[in-house]
């Protein structure tokens, strides 16, 4: 009976390991807890290695369970190898940028944790990276305007500020979007207000229909009680990807594992070899974190550079800012 129970436990662990590495095999990538497990591949590898070491030590000390622990070690090693292979394939860092063309648009995003980041730091990030579009989830209108003013004072472009807030007290329920006025004139034409507590919105060009539509994104976090709103937010994102000539930037609270395989959008991090670099939380090494902040774009564009910025890890936010250079195809 003991061997049967041990075999059942090992089979359950093997199945859980497979679904944690590649939940897409059973369409579980949007289901709890696999959606969460697949977000932290680097941390999962570190935990698995620690368990392998612990299992080896226990097998040396406790002979009766040595067979069980040996099988467990095999499962953990397979989990580690598979996740490591995916991390390497997706890219653990490529900060090279192509020489920018005049028509390129450099896009940034930074979730500022409800105005926890000083406007000077946000402006420095924007100017240092020559941003022409900046998505600011969890940033109030006051700070968004301050950032635009400081960018101009630092010699950067004049930024038009677009903003949507669901709550004047809880600052995290705000999203800002700054767009270089030299790109063109924009107006907010759509905001996702149903089924979510965080604002995402669409800025549409009013002066030239050849300009890209720009979408500021802040999807709700996938916790047990918010799984359906999270799925709804990601479905809304995919609806925006169905628009031609569209650029999306922000905190998606999702990794590339959660995007549909037939998505109309490409991901800048994945295209440039940076998709394994975690943007959250900023308190742990990037390769252990979750890559949940993105710049996405439709087929009219391609990424010619991308970087997860780690020099602002102590600026106050739990997210790292990202920057992507987009070029017309």
Which residues, in sequence order, are bridge partners of residue 191? 201
Cβ burial of 64 (10 Å; 0-12, 13-18, 19+) is: exposed
SS3 75: helix
What is each CA distance from 71 to 7, 13, 59, 67, 306, in whole angstroms?
9, 10, 11, 6, 41
Selection from 91, 98, 41, 95 nearest residue 273 by Cα: 91
Percentage of the chain surpassing pLDDT 90? 87
What integer pLDDT is reported at residue 1 of this predicted model?
62
Residue 2 clears pLDDT 80, i.e. is over it: no
Phi/psi of residue 79, each to 5°?
Answer: -60, -45
Mean pLDDT of 183-206: 90
91: pLDDT confidence band, cut at 50, 70 and 90? Answer: confident
SS3 126: helix
What integer pLDDT is reported at residue 208 of this predicted model?
81
- DSSP assigned state of 290: B
Mean pLDDT of 103-121: 97
CATH number of 105-328: 3.60.10.10
Own/partner long-range contacts of 2-10 (Cβ < 8 Å, ≥24 apart)? 6/67, 6/68, 9/68, 10/68, 10/71, 10/72, 10/75
pTM: 0.94
63: pLDDT confidence band, cut at 50, 70 and 90? Answer: confident
| Gap between the Cα atoms of 27 and 166, Å rounded | 33
Residue 4 clears pLDDT 90, i.e. is over it: no
- DSSP assigned state of 224: G
What integer pLDDT is reported at residue 6 of this predicted model?
84
- The tens digit of pLDDT for each residue in 257-313 reads 999 999 999 999 999 999 999 999 999 999 999 999 999 999 999 999 999 999 999
Which residues, in sequence order, are bridge partners of residue 266? 297
| Gap between the Cα atoms of 100 and 170, Å rounded | 39
196: pLDDT confidence band, cut at 50, 70 and 90? Answer: confident
What is each CA distance from 58 to 51, 72, 82, 185, in whole angstroms?
10, 12, 24, 65
Q: Which of 92-106, 181-195, 240-254 has the highest mean pLDDT?
A: 240-254
Where do the domains of the chain lie? 2-90, 105-328
What integer pLDDT is reported at residue 65 of this predicted model?
87
93: pLDDT confidence band, cut at 50, 70 and 90? Answer: confident
Which residues, in sequence order, are bridge partners of residue 250? 217, 294
């Amino acid at each position: 009976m003991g061997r049967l129970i041990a075999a059942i436990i090992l089979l359950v662990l093997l199945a859980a390991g497979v679904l944690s590495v590649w939940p897409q095999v059973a369409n579980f990538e949007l289901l709890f807890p696999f959606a969460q497990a697949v977000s932290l591949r680097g941390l999962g590898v570190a935990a698995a290695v620690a368990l392998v070491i612990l299992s080896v030590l226990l097998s040396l000390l406790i002979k009766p369970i040595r067979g069980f622990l040996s099988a467990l070690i095999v499962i953990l090693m397979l989990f580690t190898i598979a996740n490591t292979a995916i991390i390497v394939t997706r890219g653990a860092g490529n900060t090279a940028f192509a020489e920018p063309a005049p028509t390129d648009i450099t896009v940034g995003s930074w979730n500022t944790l409800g105005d926890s980041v000083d406007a000077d730091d946000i402006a420095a990030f924007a100017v240092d990276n020559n941003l022409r579009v900046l998505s600011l989830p969890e940033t109030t209108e006051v700070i968004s305007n301050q950032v635009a003013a400081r960018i101009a004072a630092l010699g950067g472009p004049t930024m038009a500020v677009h903003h949507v807030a669901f709550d004047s007290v809880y600052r995290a329920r705000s999203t800002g979007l700054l767009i270089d006025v030299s790109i063109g004139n924009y107006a907010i034409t759509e905001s996702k207000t149903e089924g979510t507590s965080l604002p995402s919105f669409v800025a549409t060009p009013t002066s030239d229909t050849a300009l890209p539509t720009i979408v500021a994104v802040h999807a709700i976090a996938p916790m047990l009680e918010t799984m359906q709103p999270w799925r709804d937010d990601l479905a809304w994102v995919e609806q925006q990807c169905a628009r031609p000539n569209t650029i999306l930037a922000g905190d998606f609270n999702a990794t590339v594992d959660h995007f549909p395989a037939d998505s109309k959008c490409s991901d800048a991090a994945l295209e440039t070899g940076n998709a394994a670099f975690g943007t959250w939380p900023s308190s742990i090494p990037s390769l252990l974190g979750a890559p949940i902040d993105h710049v996405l774009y439709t087929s009219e564009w391609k990424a010619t550079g991308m970087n997860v910025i780690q020099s602002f890890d102590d600026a106050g936010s739990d997210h790292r800012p990202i920057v992507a250079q987009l070029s017309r195809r």
